Structure 1
């Protein structure tokens, strides 16, 4: 049995290819069932995110072409269109790859935590589809254990490495309870969306999204139970904001010193925390001169991010060492599975010998033989049955000068020198 995976990710394939090979949730179960029903495939799981699609299987062969042909047929795409972007892993390489993916070591943002949740979703989907078996199921569980150990024992995810996350974390340091604050986000692009998501996850009290195009602001606000306004309405709502984070493509400042000063008066000089993530700036530099404003620019955050990336790189080195150990643990478990049938057969044989000896002992007791005599015969008979075959095999090994078998027997039975 071989562990095998093929996949593409942000490093190997452009988004035009990645989107064609994506497997959304609504087709995941049927896709897993189709893959699992291939003759050579015994177990199957699919990880599909915006940055990667990977197919994990146990199979009777290490031939990746089986998976390539299925993907081609399933997605109605020529194999020649995506095979140049594929990578393939088998056995120990696959185990290491899954561990690294779950820990965020193979992510676009080093150490990002979202991928672990996505791996768990992939596991759950395969479990519900009935396409997991003992080996792949155990590999996923060990993957989660390895990721948890890396998160616990290293600083891989402790420091923010995106400006959106850094801005939200800074807000948490300034305000005791985000649940009591209102955040005004200016813009509706990727950075603002990520900021809104982080704020929502941290329990922000209220989100207002302002954008030049109201429909975009409204679509984004709906995702986070927020309130949308047009950019022209900004002066009327600025005073409501405890937190202002701006990221637009405007060539001119959107917030000037005078407008912010007016908002502060309405707020009775209750402090405002402002982060300008735009280049060129959305917030005039002179706003920083106001007493009740804490203004940070993207440069202020970038210094922190650079330091944190260095910290994560050091943590990643520690994580690789942990993964090496975890791979060894899982390989040892896999090797032990190869002996499982032998152990079961040996146990079955011993139980048969026990049952036969016990039946004879019970018959002796029923015929009136004293219990002590019956027990002695049981012990003698059972001992003879258990050691007869191994003794005969060891004797034959000696006659054939198979000293390796004799040494193995001494190790298996943990024999000590009786002389």
Structure 2
């Protein structure tokens, strides 16, 4: 039984191609059924995220999978082949384990991919394209991913500026969920900050942006309020945490503005994190009592240190992935051995039944019992040793000493 994984990701394909190969919810069910039809076992899982699309199946040729993918999306097969990677057998298992642990992600060790794999598995199960082999593979994957998270530091440190900013706030404030946050800007970085804050239980967020419509869209997603940049002074005093990232060429928050806000707060401390380049917050703000200002340079040092820690953890994770892919393949091979043993037993039973029936016929016709028993023994022996004898002869003639030794061991041949 051969496991197969093929796909494209952020390392091998452009965003435009990844968009064309993606499987949205509206086409996923049909895609899974169609893909499962390509295999002999009817098993298939499709993992589709913004950074990767991967197909997991068994008992199917890789070329057929590539053809199916190009035809389903009406794409050039040649274009796909330039970007696609493929894995079979243990390599396919190890690839899935690496992906689930975040070892193949754009951000090393990111945890979101495991949830996406679990969803892909659940979708395949719902559609009915999961059977014994892929079920065991993905359950094994979830167990190994949990072990990697537990035994290594692969996901414990912030390796993005957005996450580092939220992590900093989490260490300063005992309970982030009770904090009031002002986000200045509405680009990708601030959106990521908002997402991390939401995951920490923050619900009191104000999003300030030059364009109100953009701020309203983000605020609505995270249950916050939207304001324009000129309205910041009206809301600054309410904020325990201010995180800013805009493309403004000039500072948006000046020393005087922050000083007034601190007075209105009766000098309750305020954390300000400026992750913009050029700066959004005047550097003199750091001189104010109860204002704690961190810049992108401060966070970048944390990120670089944490990335080194993750790289070290990744080496441990790679060893676990390799070891556990071997363990899964041992289980998979045991399935093949069970089927082979069952077939061998069935074949031997058929030979025995045939020889016994002939002997019984001869006894019923009055033949000498001793002669019948001798003939039965001879015929049964000849039939049972015919195939092994041919295999031994072939190995000996070709000088295949490894196969010869293996056959001798399997047949229990002892020189003594």
- Report the equivalent of 1:27: 27
Q: What whole-Å deviation, never above 9, does each CA across 1:8-30 have from its counterpart, x for those lacking one?
A: 10011110111111111222112
- Report the equivalent of 2:81: 83
- Report the equivalent of 2:298: 300
2:245 paired with 1:247: yes
Aligned-partner Cα distance in 1 for 2:348–2:178: 69
- Report the equivalent of 2:336: 338
SS in 2 for 1:152: helix
Q: What whole-Å deviation, never above 9, does each CA across 1:82-122 have from its counterpart, x for those lacking one?
A: 32111111111111111111111111111111111111111
- Root-mean-square deviation (Å): 2.8
- Report the equivalent of 1:7: 7
Distance 1:396 1:160, change over 3 A: closer
Aligned-partner Cα distance in 2 for 1:410–1:240: 83
- Report the equivalent of 1:262: 260
Aligned-partner Cα distance in 2 for 1:263–1:157: 37
SS in 2 for 1:269: coil
Cα offset, 1:397, TM superposition:
7.3
Aligned-partner Cα distance in 1 for 2:409–2:385: 10
- Report the equivalent of 1:359: none
Contact 1:208 1:221 in 2 (8 A): yes
Contact 1:99 1:323 in 2 (8 A): yes
Contact 1:35 1:41 in 2 (8 A): no
1:177 pairs with 172, 175, 178, which one? 175
- Report the equivalent of 1:376: none
SS in 1 for 2:155: coil
1:289 pairs with 287, 304, 312, which one? 287
Cα offset, 1:345, TM superposition:
6.1
SS in 1 for 2:46: strand
Contact 1:8 1:87 in 2 (8 A): yes
- Report the equivalent of 2:43: 43
Aligned-partner Cα distance in 2 for 1:56–1:345: 28
- Report the equivalent of 2:141: 143
Contact 2:39 2:58 in 1 (8 A): no
- Report the equivalent of 1:231: 229
Normalising by the residue count of structure 1, what TM-score does the alignment of the two structures yield?
A: 0.83
Cα offset, 1:132, TM superposition:
1.3
Distance 1:204 1:406, change over 3 A: same
Aligned-partner Cα distance in 2 for 1:169–1:269: 24
Aligned-partner Cα distance in 1 for 2:388–2:280: 85
Aligned-partner Cα distance in 1 for 2:387–2:191: 75
Normalising by the residue count of structure 2, what TM-score does the alignment of the two structures yield?
A: 0.84
Distance 1:409 1:300, change over 3 A: same
Aligned-partner Cα distance in 2 for 1:167–1:39: 47
1:203 pairs with 201, 204, 208, which one? 201
In structure 2, stretches of 5+ residues that fail to align are 350-379, 394-403
Aligned-partner Cα distance in 1 for 2:343–2:300: 63
Aligned residues: 375
Distance 1:302 1:404, change over 3 A: closer
Contact 2:348 2:384 in 1 (8 A): no
Distance 1:281 1:2, change over 3 A: same
2:74 paired with 1:56: no
Cα offset, 1:325, TM superposition:
0.9
SS in 1 for 2:253: coil
